[in-house]
Amino acid sequence: MKIAAICGPTASGKTALAVRLRRDFALPVEMLSVDALQVYQRLDAGTAKPTALERQQIPTHLVDIAAPQEPMNAALWVAHAERAIADVHARGAWPLLVGGTGLYLRALLRGLAEIPEVPQAVRDALAAEYAQRGPDVLWAELHAVDPDYASRTPPQNRQRLLRALEVYRHTGQAFSAFHTAHQALPDRYAAFRVSLEPPREVLHARIQARALAMAEPLWHEVAALRAAGLPATAPGLQAIGYRDAWLALQNVELLGDFAPRLAAAHQAYAKRQSTWFHNNPMELRLTDGDAAQVAHALRRWFESP
């Protein structure tokens, strides 16, 4: 079963390109969001979801499929994606995965590594340690036992940090070792992958403008979620920007530099994304998002036997 994907760092123009492929080149594509944040309902200001107009121009899937307090991981997302891909194919359309969460895309294409079930007691103990000792201490432990995975996991990413440590404590093996063994498996879908890679200065300016524009709406959104009773530990609130907004609500002195810190966090995230996509295979890499070139390539891909 064939699929296509438009990958790249935040603000690289992925959604806009997908819309153009449908609107301007009449490709029968439907967009499947590959974004770990866009899955969450009520998290809008800081997630750059497709706008209402964009969703009118291209059928869109895998956005707003979970409540902020619900867990979402690669396995759960893949299950949603597989159903969406099957539905799109059943309509005679072309599934176009669009987003920057490389882990989700890889999980869809390669499947998930078979990792032993971790007892709830181990998970609860680690969660308590995280609350008591803080992320930096636990990240140092992860770096000591699994430096490869630690290098790709910032201390603030609570879900990834705790997952890696709980697997190590239960099995005695590095979390990354399970994934390394899994890499030899063949892809589960035939995929044509396009990577958008704007020049660094262009991407930097776009991210700066986007982050500054979203800062105030994001702060108000988090204030409303907090007032509605959403706890700080909700999975959706562990996202970039949302953590900082929550802290700013607790310490008004942090509000003054919230926008610059938000921009810096997005810049760092984009750098990690760019590195990830640079190190993974792509069929087409573009600096300018040439829609005509992509449309031609996708027609050949989906229409060939």
Q: Which residues contact residue 275 at a Cβ distance below 8 angstroms, ignoring those fewer than 6 apart?
A: none
pLDDT, averaged across the chain:
93
Distance CA 257, CA 272 (A): 23
Ramachandran angles phi, psi of 111, nearest 5°: 80, 180
Q: Which residue has the tokens 């490869």?
A: 148
What CATH number is given for 2-111+185-303 in this structure?
A: 3.40.50.300
**What are the residue ranges spanned by the domains of the chain?**
2-111+185-303, 120-182
| pLDDT computed for residue 10 by the predictor | 96
Topology at the third CATH level for domain 120-182: Histone, subunit A (1.10.20)
Do residues 191 and 281 lie in contact, with contact meaning Cβ atoms separated by under 8 Å? Answer: no
For each of the chain's 305 residues, which pLDDT tens digit applies?
A: 999 999 999 999 999 999 999 999 999 999 999 999 999 999 999 999 999 999 999 999 999 999 999 999 999 999 999 999 999 999 999 999 999 999 999 999 988 877 888 999 999 999 999 999 999 999 999 999 999 999 989 998 898 899 999 999 999 999 988 877 666 567 899 999 999 999 999 999 999 999 999 999 999 999 999 999 999 989 999 889 998 899 888 877 667 788 899 999 999 999 999 999 999 999 999 999 899 999 999 999 999 99
DSSP-based three-state secondary structure for 4: strand
